[in-house]
Amino acid sequence: MITLRIFILLFIVLLSPCYAFDRKGFSPTSPFSVFTTFSSESPKQNQVAIDLGLDISREPDIKRVNLNLSYGLTDKIEIITSIPYVFKYSNSLDEKGFEDINFGFKHRFIDETTYLPAFAYLLYVSGEIGNEKFSSEGGWGGGIVVSKK
């Protein structure tokens, strides 16, 4: 009986329509990421990485382009910026503009070895400079990145 209740609950949840708008926020630059997760890898010194992405959703109707830029200050230190721009939002031509622009810093302080993963820390700040409708009101944060090939 419990199995039937769980099945019915899952059936209702999986077939229910859900709508959400996710602000882009701070995101990694390809190829120095794994899908949308930060990696400890960084561009080499004076190397630039550019990632241009397009997000399209149907409900709500959102079209967004995101530009991620990374620059290697050294082989272990990089600066990162994410610039998301919404050019269509919920069937309105008036609702468009920048989301909050994000700036970050990543430093790999332990290199990967045969048996150990690489470790890096990440610090970022997000300015409240985008369209108010798409703003997350700015913020800051950080984290530890652990990765192993």
Three-state SS for 23? Answer: coil
Task: Provide the 3-class DSSP secondary structure of residue 4.
Answer: helix
The pLDDT of residue 73 is 95
pLDDT at residue 18 tops 60: no
For residue range 35-70, what is the model confidence (pLDDT) as tens digits?
A: 556 778 888 999 998 888 888 877 777 888 888 899
Phi, psi for residue 63 in degrees, rounded to 5? -130, 125
For position 16, what pLDDT does the model report? 61
Phi, psi (degrees; rounded to nearest 5) at 119: -125, 140
Peptide bond just before 31 cis, omega within 30 deg = yes
Q: What is the mean pLDDT of the chain?
A: 80
* Distance from chain centroid for Cα 137: 17
